A and B are shown apart, each in its own frame.
Chain A
Amino acid sequence: GENVEQHPSTLSVQEGDSAVIKCTYSDSASNYFPWYKQELGKGPQLIIDIRSNVGEKKDQRIAVTLNKTAKHFSLHITETQPEDSAVYFCAAEAGNMLTFGGGTRLMVKP
């Protein structure tokens, strides 16, 4: 089955700095790669996603890049704000199932 590795597990940045979270996947058949944000005590919420026919996608301060050859994708958050503090999960889709990475706890220090 699919295996998704996510790094780093924790990330601390100063407000206004950029944050980058990286994921690798194993199944070359995966074609959909979403990113979820989970705030304390809540369920995950989709923040951005990318499909295999696209190399990069942006939405305001958030961007995701995908390298299908290398089987890795990354989340970039620019101009971080305290409200970006949360746990972020990457995922890869294959065969009616989503496989999630282990999560990254992002802390943005004011």
Chain B
Amino acid sequence: NAGVTQTPKFQVLKTGQSMTLQCAQDMNHEYMSWYRQDPGMGLRLIHYSVGAGITDQGEVPNGYNVSRSTTEDFPLRLLSAAPSQTSVYFCASSYSGTSEQQFFGPGTRLTVL
């Protein structure tokens, strides 16, 4: 199993550009989530999904969209990038929810100029 994979590893955007961060898992996990990690602020939940076709907002959803058309994939879209979205983004998954081990991907480091 590859586990949780994220692409790209690094990305530089200009303000106003859009892009999609990719996340995929091959463990047949129902629960998937996106976090952003900023220095001194830990990991903050952006969006999560409890299964295909179901998504919900986390703590910091503004400026981000998600969809979950398959169990395996959970892409994160930045519609109009802003410097405040410069961060490291982690995708995570688990078998059924948050009361169990989350498996994290390796992260995407995003810089918005």
Contact = CB atoms under 8 A, between A and B. Distances in A.
Interface of A: 1, 4, 6, 9, 31-32, 34, 36, 41-46, 49, 51, 89, 93, 96-103
Nearest to A2: B59
Given A31-B99, A93-B98, A43 B41 contact: no
A45 B104 contact: yes
A101 B45 CA distance: 12
Which of A9, A43, A44, A97 has the most B CB atoms < 10 Å from its CB?
A43
Contacts of B35: 100
B42 A6 contact: yes
Interface of B: 4, 31, 33, 35, 40-45, 48, 50, 56, 58-59, 90, 92, 97-102, 104-107
Contacts of A97: 45, 48, 58-59, 98
A99 B101 contact: no
B97 A96 contact: yes
B31 to A, nearest CB: 8
A12 B50 CA distance: 39
Contact of B44 (A36, A42, A51, A100): A100
